[in-house]
Structure 1
Amino acid sequence: MTKDILILGITLFSMFFGAGNLIFAPYLGAQAGSALVPALSGMLVTSVVMPVVSICIIAPYRTASNMISKIWNPLGPIFMTIVYLLIGPCIAIPRTAGTAMEMWSWLIPARPVQIAAICLFFIAAYFMAVHPGKLKDILGKIMGPILLILILCVCIPLLFAPASVSAPAAAFANSPFWTGLNEGYQTMDILAAFCFGILITTNIEKMNIKKKNQALALSAVCAGILLALVYILLAVCSSRNSVLFGSFTNGAQILSAAATQTWGSLGRILSGLIFLIACLNVCSGLLACCAEYFQETFGKLSYRSWLITFTVAGAVVACTGLDSILSWSGTLLSWICPIAILILAIGPYNSVHKSLKAKNS
């Protein structure tokens, strides 16, 4: 079972670890400088601990919708439909393609070529997601390990390079922990945790694991450990070179510069591959989750029909451009994420309260 948990853990890590996860840790390290430890601690609370705890809370209910319905029956499908649409075709799915294309804009500057590349990106994501029960083989055994190896290729040499650590930037100098907490919160993995459990449960059932809830929780812990290790590695590398990287405005620039520093002209291709694989992994996971949820909840279309619908919708929105998506997505996500945290706090309490009430009566 240990091997199965590891594969499921890498699968879940691959679904979580997209472009947003890639850029926040290097940027935090470069800005925090000598205040890295408290800043990184704050980030790990909201980007690792809270998503893992969320999956563990949801696990006994199988899906987040089931848990939320214990609070008020209609709330489950209403809230989760909104969440799936936001992290699906409306925001997160097209954002993965837009971010991946940004990293390759030097090679494909013409807009018609970029649109063609976006279409190819979604075709690849569709075929990765067409058999959701096999995502553990694609992400857990192939794409996830490749991504980890590429990240190590960029980061390991920087760990042995001479350090040039700067003083923390203003926000990190005054309150490094709370600033780091906010940076991790922006990964929005808490919302993703509401959705990914259904897909991992499908893979657990395909593997004929008897203790499904335990396997889901252990897979979440395994994914959390991998996320934490990669965040720490990225943040430490950029912090050790914060004098050099401190002037950059985002983590994508830092990761690209780090790859170039290590590998020269090949670094741009290496950083582009890291973003492409990370975004493709997340996109395929989100497509599969959305298609499974809508097929189970509404049932009028088959899984593949929903998958095609979300793939086409994601591609259309992605073609509007990354700046267009980012201009309105942040506000929506910042409103719904606190609601998700509140539901996580109320759901289990409400369920226990009802059980005790029924037992006493």
Structure 2
Amino acid sequence: MFKKKEILITAFALFSLFFGAGNLILPPLLGFNAGNQWLIVTIGFCLSAMVIPLLGILAHAKLQGTLMDFGKKVSPTFSLIFSFFIYAIAVALPGPRTASVTHEMAIQPYWDISPWVTSSIYFGLVFIFAINRSRILGVLGKLLTPAIILILLFVIGITIFSFPFDFGTTNITNPFSNGILEGYQTFDAIGAVVVGGVIIISINLKHTDASYEDKRSMIRKAGWIAGLALFLIYMGLILSGALVHSAFPEDTTRTALLSGLAKQSLGNVGNIFLSILVAIACFTTAVGIVTGTADFVKSRCNDSQLAYTLTAIIGSVLGILIGKFDVGYIIIVALPSLMFIYPITVILILLNVVPEKWGSSFVFRAVTLTTILFSIPDFLNSIPALTPKPETFSWIPLQEYSLGWALPALATFILTNVFIRLSR
């Protein structure tokens, strides 16, 4: 059995791996726009940004393998393609976004420096750290996360007690589904299937004599603790954003709102300190993404160090090219890929959580294929130039909420299981 201290350390590690740039900048503006509907968007946001990632960790506790294991019941080829897309999206979108957040929060407010310069220096350093596999990042991560959490708790606490509970009216049409879709932008479901494997490897290396059940129990407990911490931070940041609706202009940006909250709560010094911590936290995330992607390619190329180096170079170059854009633009660009890959990721997580008797290979294949097919309309609707006429897919349930894949996937899951039972 694992000691309580080891469970807490693992929970802390999970929280650190999840808590990145998107987790910080997305909730406040979501609450700001939600107004008196802040609780509804909180539930939606936490469903996709906390509950699903938590289930991803529980799935890892069950599988105790790697990202490749999530889709193996569909087929080895599908699993490889799915893994490739996950890493490609990670290195092309959330990775570069960390440079953009760093520029807008830690560089732009204090120096007149081009985003090109910031992203070039930023990902030049990312490449150096990825090649040298420095352990400094691990040490920094252990120190950074408590500091960021402490500052955020101060920001949330001071804001809640400083502003009256007077919420503006919402300008969001569908608060619940909007919260879910905004939660996509944290990339936490994708993060769950990636970082869960890292946790498994770490536990296996440190506790070689631990049984499968002991490791599963420990990961599940740590996951629940990390999930609860994420929920409290998310709810606090969304509530804070909703409370300050009259203190910021309607067109305020995500980073400007977070910086403004920190400045109002902690003053200039506190805001500067938060900016520095966010910048370093973003940097550790970027290094982790580039390193993880390079490790994946290396493993598929007979452990070739050349493949690792070339992937690290490509990841860093993409970071420079995409990281120069502002955060809002990267979030808009990321939406189509998320509308397609996120439902597939969610379904694979759920299928790996259910008991084995309900998750046969046949069920995996049928439900995953259904999800892919019914994700296409949401994908098309997220691209302005390709947006079909509203009535084209109106027959699909929940299509107006960009969740057209959900009920067909559920129906396929139920029908395939009924078919299997009747066939026996």
* TM-score, normalized by the shorter chain, greater than 0.5: yes
**Separation (CA, whole Å) in 2 of partners of 1:157 and 1:307:** 46
Residue of structure 1 in register with 2:121 after alignment: 117
Conserved in 1, the CA contact under 8 Å of 2:20 and 2:281?
yes
Superimposed CA distance per residue, residues 35-68 of structure 1 (whole angstroms, 9 cap, x where no aligned partner): 2222211211111001111221233222231231
Conserved in 1, the CA contact under 8 Å of 2:123 and 2:317?
no
**Separation (CA, whole Å) in 2 of partners of 1:113 and 1:56:** 41
Q: 1:181 to 1:128 in 2, by over 3 A?
A: farther
**Separation (CA, whole Å) in 2 of partners of 1:128 and 1:269:** 29
Q: 1:294 to 1:350 in 2, by over 3 A?
A: farther
Superimposed CA distance per residue, residues 125-178 of structure 1 (whole angstroms, 9 cap, x where no aligned partner): 5389545xx976553x3222122123234333223213262323221xx54333
| Residue among 325, 333, 343 paired with 1:338 | 343
CA drift of 1:25 comes to: 1.0
Residue of structure 2 in register with 1:182 after alignment: 181
* Match runs of 1:290-305 below 5 Å: 290-302=293-305
2:320 maps to 1:316: no
Superimposed CA distance per residue, residues 267-322 of structure 1 (whole angstroms, 9 cap, x where no aligned partner): 541342243133123223323432443343433324xx666444433332222212
| Residue among 32, 53, 56 paired with 2:55 | 53
Q: Which moved more, 1:119-128 or 1:249-258?
A: 119-128
CA drift of 1:183 comes to: 2.0
2:64 maps to 1:65: no
Q: Which moved more, 1:143-152 or 1:326-335?
A: 326-335
**Separation (CA, whole Å) in 1 of partners of 2:304 and 2:73:** 27
**Separation (CA, whole Å) in 2 of partners of 1:105 and 1:247:** 21
TM-score by length of 2: 0.73
2:192 alignment partner, SS class: helix
Q: Number of paired residues?
A: 351
* Match runs of 1:84-233 below 5 Å: 84-88=87-91, 90-103=92-105, 104-111=107-114, 113-115=117-119, 117-119=121-123, 121-122=125-126, 126=130, 129-130=133-134, 138-139=140-141, 141-163=142-164, 165-171=166-172, 175-208=174-207, 210=210, 211-233=214-236
Q: Which moved more, 1:194-203 or 1:178-187?
A: 178-187
Conserved in 2, the CA contact under 8 Å of 1:128 and 1:284?
no
CA drift of 1:257 comes to: 0.9
TM-score by length of 1: 0.84
Q: Which amino acid aligns with 1:205?
A: N
Based on CA coordinates, which of the two structures has the bigger radius of gyration? 2
Residue of structure 1 in register with 2:391 after alignment: none
Conserved in 1, the CA contact under 8 Å of 2:28 and 2:241?
yes
Conserved in 1, the CA contact under 8 Å of 2:31 and 2:242?
yes
**Separation (CA, whole Å) in 2 of partners of 1:135 and 1:197:** 18
- Structure 1, unmatched stretches of 5+, are none
**Separation (CA, whole Å) in 2 of partners of 1:125 and 1:156:** 36
| Residue among 7, 10, 24 paired with 2:9 | 7
CA drift of 1:255 comes to: 0.9
Conserved in 2, the CA contact under 8 Å of 1:99 and 1:322?
no
